[in-house]
């Protein structure tokens, strides 16, 4: 899974620009301070909107983000610089936690988990995992497990 150059630049440029606007907000007059605060909110809103847009999810199809290689599931990270994909044996998966644009994979019933932010709805991620694992295996894996103290 290769990220586009535009997305890589965006992931660096937006936080940098927000940091610059924050610093400008701290050292400027009231009128300019208000303008930089409004600009910061606008940029942040635009960035989050882009990350949740249909165009962004089409760039990163779920078929390419979650794959199966034999008896191993391969989960590609969307965010992160040059992160290697997580490869987990199907038998080692204890639970899958789902939320809006989120997948948590808990391995070996030991609480060790891996978090993935995907630009797809819960139903799409569940359908992909159901497709890869099959009905019986998917049913055996626990879903939406909460932490216990």
**What domain range is 35 assigned to?**
5-51
Regarding whether 84 and 40 lie in a shared domain, the answer is no
Quick one: which of 112, 97, 103 has its CA closest to 66? 103
Are residues 75 and 45 both part of a single domain? Answer: no
Average pLDDT over residues 103-132: 88
User: Domain check: are 44 and 66 in the same one?
Assistant: no
For 64, the token pair is: 């390419």
Is there a domain that residue 148 lies in? no
Task: Give the alpha-carbon dihedral of 118, 123, 126, 128, to 10 degrees.
Answer: -80
pTM (2 decimals)?
Answer: 0.70
Tell me whether residue 149 is in a domain: no
Asked if residue 131 has pLDDT above 90, the reply is yes
Q: Print the SS3 string covering 40-73.
A: HHHHHHHHHHHHCCHHHHHHCCHHHHEEEECCEE
**66 and 133 both lie in a single domain:** yes
81 lies in a domain?
Answer: yes
Q: How far apart are CA 107 and CA 101, in angstroms?
A: 20
Percentage above 90 pLDDT, the chain: 28
CATH number of the domain encompassing residue 120? 2.30.29.30
Q: What is the pLDDT of residues 23-59, one digit of tens each?
A: 877 777 777 778 888 888 888 888 888 877 788 878 8
- Does some domain include residue 96? yes
Report the SS3 class of residue 135: helix
Indicate if 15 and 76 belong to the same structural domain: no
Indicate whether 9 and 71 sit together in one domain.
no
- 61 to each of 3, 20, 86, 91, how far by Cα in Å? 12, 33, 17, 25
The tally of domains found in the chain comes to: 2
Residue 78 lies in a domain: yes
Q: Within this chain, do residues 47 and 67 fall inside the same structural domain, yes or no?
A: no
Higher-confidence residue of 97 and 111: namely 97
């Amino acid at each position: 899974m290769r990220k586009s150059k535009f997305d890589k630049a965006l992931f660096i440029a937006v936080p940098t620009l927000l940091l610059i606007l924050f610093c400008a907000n701290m050292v400027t007059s009231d009128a300019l301070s208000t303008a930089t605060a409004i600009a910061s909110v606008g940029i942040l809103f635009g960035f989050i909107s882009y990350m949740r847009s249909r165009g962004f999810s089409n760039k990163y199809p779920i078929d390419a983000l979650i794959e199966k290689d034999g008896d191993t599931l391969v989960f590609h990270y969307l965010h992160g610089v040059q992160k290697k994909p997580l490869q987990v044996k199907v038998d080692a998966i204890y639970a899958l936690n789902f939320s809006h644009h989120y997948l948590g994979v808990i391995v070996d019933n030991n609480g060790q988990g891996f978090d993935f932010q995907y630009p797809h709805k819960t139903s799409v991620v569940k359908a992909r995992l159901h497709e890869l694992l099959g009905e019986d295996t998917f049913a055996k894996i626990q879903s939406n497990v909460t932490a216990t103290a």
